[in-house]
Chain A
Amino acid sequence: MKNKKLKLFTIPYAAWMLFFVIIPIFIIGYYGVTDSNGNFTLANIFSITQYEHYKSLFLAIYLAIICTVICLLIAYPLALILRKLDPKLSGTLIFIFLLPMWMNMLLRTLAWQILLERKGVINALLTMAHLPTLNIINTNAAVVLGMVYDFLPFMVMPVFNSLSKIDDSVIDAASDLGAKYHTVLFRIIIPLSIPGIVSGITMVFIPALTTFVISNILGGGRILLIGGLIEQEFMHASNWNLGSGLSIFLILFVFVFIAISMFFDDEEELA
């Protein structure tokens, strides 16, 4: 299959990516540094210094960090348990754990709204059991819960993959050399699964940071994240220049994460 002429097969793809990926990103850049008349300005970018804007950015970062940490804390023990099971069983279980991911994200988020509402399913059940009701709908907590629910599989998958790549004999070797379980975990298992953890963090943090769906559905319009702000500028306020200016911050985040994960990918290739 090695043939120099076959290189030319990249041309259609290159053209496609140029038109539908690279040029559109430059368009964001163009709109971001111009005003509605097409004159150069940095006002759109500096608008992040307005209270409403940086508040929504920081809130998004804050909630995305909490969501990522919770996902990691849930997914890591889960992946550890699944790793120890025999491959047939763990294959089936992983299938069951990832199945909800294939369900439409909107519908899944909607389901949480139904569960969490003041007169929703959870509260109906709690009332029946004569327990105090849970009022977290339209709060940060509900948004984080929705994020964790939607993005948890993105953490489970890479973490489980990197854990299952660890050779059992390496773990045996560590305990053979006198390490107790927690030493094996912190000195061997976790360091060896860092590529999986990093890619899990990227795959959870970016969509959590940029979501507007979850905050709109479970935040009831009270919680405005940076994604929601941008969506408003495009779909309701129709101020594309301001929306693009704010999007540049999201693009920067993405670049930082690509750089980090590429760094760890290189490490993995050496291994």
Chain B
Amino acid sequence: MGKNLIELNHISKIFDGEQVIDDLNLSIKENSFVTLLGPSGCGKTTTLRIIAGFIRPDKGNVIFDGVDITDLPPNERQLNTVFQKYALFPHMNVRDNIAFGLNIKKKSKSYIDDKIKYALKLVNLDGYEKRNVESLSGGQQQRIAIARAIVNEPKVLLLDEPLAALDLKLRQEMQYELKKLKNELGITFIYVTHDQEEALTMSDTVVVMNQGYIQQLGTPEQIYNEPENAFVATFIGDSNIVHGVMLEDYLVEIFGSPFKCIDSGFGKRQPVDVVIRPEDVDIVDINSDKAILKGKMIGAIFKGEMYEMECRTNDGFEWLIHSTDLVEPGKEVGIFVEPENIQIMNKPASEDEEAVEVLAELNEE
């Protein structure tokens, strides 16, 4: 991929004595689809608003296409935003909303008309020019908001939880449309969401944030399969996080039993966190050679595409297991995990531990 289009260097921001962003560094490549993902209050929206120019960072600078734009007001930046609740101008019709930015740039009427036509076609709302924006559905308003932003030919489109107000079905549809739109326009998208599914579905790069820090940056596959810490593992999908000890390279001890794994470079007898996704836990016959841990099935719920089951092993840990094959509760079973499905992580720094606690609280609610 291309060169860095946006660089955030050592950005910090404090609101009301609270450190919202702490020394954040992030480079965004040209033509990429980057998602800032995290729970509410993690600093993702603040980061987006700093890029858009609505918030001035206390420290650090924002580089756009090689130029420092930290002090540039939003109206002079070559990027446009799609706002969370659309923020359409209620006193203007669809046409005037979309034409707003072009009118300010004093474009000719024929240019504006062409652009509006093109943009409405792109968002599948041809012929809606004269409609009152208040009369449109949420999904349509969102498309108008997108059209209003893209007619200005921004190099970067910022999207602040644009699908949050839509219902599930529409949200899934819009995810594909946004991805398609991105490819047609060939510009950079920076997308903010708290929804991990949205992030994994659409992005090239996911930036997981919490408490003003970047927790992990990577492709959706990396984020899901190789979470770098317990926060990322818990936030993205379901997971079993257990305490382990590295016996040697490629061998980790979990609850006193050795598991083969594919990680190396940890110290001997170093304590680690082990992440195992529920779909990667294999249930085997209790007498089989593969049964590394032994336990009893204690619950099963049918979830549609699979069963969600729980198994309590002899050490007392309750494993979350996803499988298409039902194993009846009460049955004694063995547990096995393929080496490549075992993800070894360093024990978290205190900051992350806090984060996991916060998340646990969120989940309880």
Contacts and interface: CB of A to CB of B under 8 A. Distances in A.
Interface of A: 167, 169-170, 172-180, 183, 187-188, 191-192, 270-271
A172 B100 contact: no
Contact of A169 (B87, B101, B149): B87
Given A183-B104, A192-B91, A271-B90, A175 B73 contact: yes
B75 A176 contact: yes
B52 A176 contact: yes
17 contacts: A169-B84, A169-B87, A172-B52, A172-B74, A172-B83, A174-B100, A176-B81, A177-B75, A177-B80, A177-B149, A178-B75, A178-B104, A178-B105, A179-B101, A179-B104, A191-B91, A271-B91
Contacts of A188: 89
A174 B92 CA distance: 12
A270 B132 CA distance: 10
Nearest to B49: A172
A176 B91 CA distance: 18
Interface in B255-284: none
Contacts of B134: 270-271
A196 to B, nearest CB: 13
Contacts, number: 66
A180 B75 contact: yes
B219 interface: no
Contacts of B85: 167, 169
B229 to A, nearest CB: 33
B148 interface: yes
Interface of B: 52, 54, 73-76, 80-81, 83-85, 87-91, 100-101, 104-105, 132, 134, 148-149, 152
B131 to A, nearest CB: 13
Given A169-B85, A188-B89, A179 B73 contact: no
Contacts of A271: 90-91, 134
Contacts of B54: 172, 175-176
Nearest to B100: A177
Best-buried of A169, A177, A188, A192 by chain B (most CB within 10 Å): A177
Contacts of B89: 170, 173-174, 188, 192
Contacts of B84: 169
B148 A177 contact: yes
Best-buried of B52, B81, B84, B132 by chain A (most CB within 10 Å): B81
Given A176-B74, A176-B75, A177-B100, A169 B91 contact: no
A167 B104 contact: no
B35 to A, nearest CB: 20
A118 B220 CA distance: 81
Contact of B152 (A170, A175, A177, A187): A177
Contacts of A192: 89-91
A172 B81 contact: yes
A177 B149 CA distance: 7
Nearest to A271: B90
A176 B90 contact: no
A62 to B, nearest CB: 32
A187 B104 CA distance: 11
Contacts of B88: 170, 173
A22 B279 CA distance: 77
Contacts of B105: 178
A271 B148 CA distance: 20
A169 B74 CA distance: 13
A265 to B, nearest CB: 15
Contacts of B81: 172-173, 176
Closest 8 CB pairs of A and B: A177-B101, A169-B87, A173-B87, A169-B83, A178-B104, A175-B75, A175-B74, A176-B81
Nearest to B104: A178
Contacts of A175: 54, 73-75
B101 A178 contact: yes
Nearest to A168: B87
